[in-house]
Amino acid sequence: MTPGAACDLDLRGVSEALGRREVSSLEATEAYLARVERYDKALQSYITVMGGAARARAKAMDVELASGRRRGPLHGVPIALKDLCAVAGVRMTAGSRLYADHVPGRDACVTERLTAAGAVMLGKLSMFELAFGRPTTEPPFPTGRNPWDVGRDTTGSSSGSGAAVAAGLCAGALGSDTGGSIRNPAARCGIVGLKPTYGLVSRRGAVALCWSLDTLGPMTRDVWGAAAMLQAIAGRDAGDSSTREAPSPVPDYTAALEGGARGTRLGVLRRFYVDWPGLHPEGRAAALAAFDVLGREGAALEDVDAPALDLAMPAWVTYLAEAYEYHREAVRARPGDFRETTRPRLWMGALVSAADHLRARRLVARLLREVLAVLERVDALVFPGMGAPAPRVEDVDPTQVMPPAARYTVPWNLLGLPAIVVPCGFTRDGLPLSIQIVGRPFDEATVLRVARAYERATDWHRRRPDPARWRA
């Protein structure tokens, strides 16, 4: 294969081509860097390109492979990181002027683990300011554009991660998810996005938004790629007290992927999601068709409900208090370094009382009881991935604290449950649609297996946006 062809593969394809020595890590790295150079002016997915370091790393991985050492499926695979994950000696901006010149002296835990797995870091990816702002075209840190239509937003703070993966500017990426910022851009860009169980992946060395909700996770073109990246980054970290004792050792998430959906019980959250009046009609039709596919693959589907879902979004708003607390000193001392769309939302957190937050925590406990009771009867929950396809950038309301899309993502951050979005179709305008699958705590294996069963039965994940449409 030609090195440039690697950019059209999913992560599994790149990994297998490297393993068969059909392409070297350096050749693949050069191909991705050339693609970034050619197209990223329009897509705005990278803040920092680590070209020299990536080439040196790829050469080292080729030497290891030639000597018979292969660290695993990520050996030599070029990936990229959302720019709130630290890489020692490389600027980390979190998309904000506040950190424009910040250079961490130590890798984040996820960076350490991906490096140990043999991955090649291509660079740092664009994002909404502090993972909390809104899309912008303004310097110094414009947010990523949707490769299916560069006039549209990716609708989520991991904007560069979604754009870069969908456009083939890296084989996989890390994003962060506090209210949907992995799943929103993944769904809108037609890729796979996995929010792991809270506490499965260390956040040490990542800029926080909300300690109680933040989760780091993979964004890839394929379910296998998400499983392989999760395998590399999952597990307890003594440097992050939020990481929990998950199954030990961490399961091999790729081992059971091909187990299929037969015999799996899936609960369809119909009232809150499928029948919601705000759901885009093409999204509803695509999701219902996807559920039919899962049924034909042997899954048993039944309608389920958790009435307390209606309380999830107002409860989430009280967690703005944590965002304010993290940035309190900076927003008071340097208000001009925050965008106009970010600063007022942080100040809202100052208005949340302890009583408000405690009431919200009680509501979350009630919701968790309801959902876990449902998950005793079914193996996973399924519903449309998003309420609507990607909006035009000019149509995004910068004053919204809770955009309508939050309905589909926020509850699962509050509950800390694993959730994945998988492409399930396209609108008549050619915009991606998706379904979402949610599982029991630390049961990523089932979530990934069901997602893979659907992916294997369809070809939506094989479609690619047209580079001819990427114009700055």
Q: How far apart are CA 399 and CA 48, in angstroms?
A: 29
Tokens of 373: 């009771």
Q: How far apart are CA 127 and CA 84, in angstroms?
A: 9
Q: How far apart are CA 28 and CA 41, in angstroms?
A: 21
- Give SS3 for 191: coil
Report, in this order, helix, strand and coil percent for the chain, each rounded to 5.
45, 15, 40
Most distant pair of Cα atoms in the chain: their distance: 61
Residues with a known catalytic role: 82, 157, 181
Q: How far apart are CA 294 and CA 433, in angstroms?
A: 16
> Can you give the C-alpha Rg of the chain in angstroms?
20
Angle at alpha carbon of residue 440, lines to 296 and 279, rounded to 5°: 60
Torsion on CA atoms 198, 203, 206, 209, rounded to nearest 10: 30
Q: How far apart are CA 394 and CA 390, in angstroms?
A: 12
Tokens of 398: 């910068």
Q: How far apart are CA 30 and CA 238, in angstroms?
A: 36
Q: How far apart are CA 129 and CA 131, in angstroms?
A: 5
Cis peptide, bond prior to residue 140, ω within 30 of zero = yes
Cα-based distances in Å from 401 to 118, 358, 359? 39, 20, 20
Tokens of 410: 């926020």
C-alpha 382: how far from chain center: 18
Q: How far apart are CA 361 and CA 174, in angstroms?
A: 29
Sign of the Cα pseudo-torsion (138, 143, 149, 152, in order): negative
Q: How far apart are CA 280 and CA 283, in angstroms?
A: 5
Helix axes 223-233, 444-457, angle to 10 degrees: 160
Tokens of 263: 């015999």
Residue partners of 296: CB distance under 8 A and separation at least 6: 457
C-alpha 457: how far from chain center: 23
Report which DSSP code applies to 197: P
Q: How far apart are CA 465 and CA 292, in angstroms?
A: 26
